Amino acid sequence: MADDLDAVARFLFEAGTLKQARRTGWWMAGVRDPESVAEHAWRTSLIASIIAQLEGADPARAALMAVWHDSQETRTGDVNHLGKKYAPSADPEAVTVDQTAGMPGVLASAVRAWVGEYESKESPEAVCARDADKLECLLQGIEYMAQGYENAQRWVENSRGRLVTETGRRLADELLNQGSLDWLRAALGEKP
């Protein structure tokens, strides 16, 4: 068993590169130092668990898929939508097969299944995780707009239009009706 953990250890170092990998689409909105892929994946996972719980799906499975949804970007980079027009995007499932090669079979097959389920878009949990990906982009766009990046409005609108779940759409509307510091005011007991 210890011999096959070398591939797992290598992957853990590889996964750490996502902490430095920037989400490139935000550069088109003028954001100089956009969030990392890892930061995006963390909040996407949190949102996925929330949407799934409220939609009656399994929140742990939805969050788990969200954790892994961009893990392939350690090898492909974050290719924004415009870039995908010119360069064919890599198959996330094929990249995952390469990333998990040499790992213990029980782990490799599980990771491949999680990514496959997310990509298939068929299970309620996958739908919730995919909505979480869009909702996180919308939320990040709102935060960038609060920082003065007006061009982020395009990402907010596009993300809102791609939401599928009732919870995702309702939550988007609520986010759009709040300011990015309303949480702080509420926590401090301040009146709106």
Q: Residue 141 above 80 pLDDT? A: yes
pLDDT of residue 2: 52
Q: Which pLDDT band holds residue 158 (cuts at 50, 70, 90)?
A: very high
Return the CATH fold of 2-187: Hypothetical protein af1432 (1.10.3210)
User: Burial level of 133, CB count in 10 A (0-12/13-18/19+)?
Assistant: buried
Give first-to-last CA distance, the chain, whole Å: 57
In this predicted structure, the answer to whether residue 1 has a pLDDT above a threshold of 80 is no
Q: What is the DSSP string of 5-22?
A: HHHHHHHHHHHHGGGT-B
| pLDDT of amino acid 81 | 81
3-state secondary structure of 127: helix
Residue 119 has pLDDT above 60, yes or no: yes
Percent of residues, the chain, with pLDDT higher than 90: 88
Q: Distance between CA atoms of 128 and 39, rounded to whole angstroms?
A: 19
Nearest to 127 by CA among 51, 16, 64: 51
Per-residue pLDDT, 3: 59
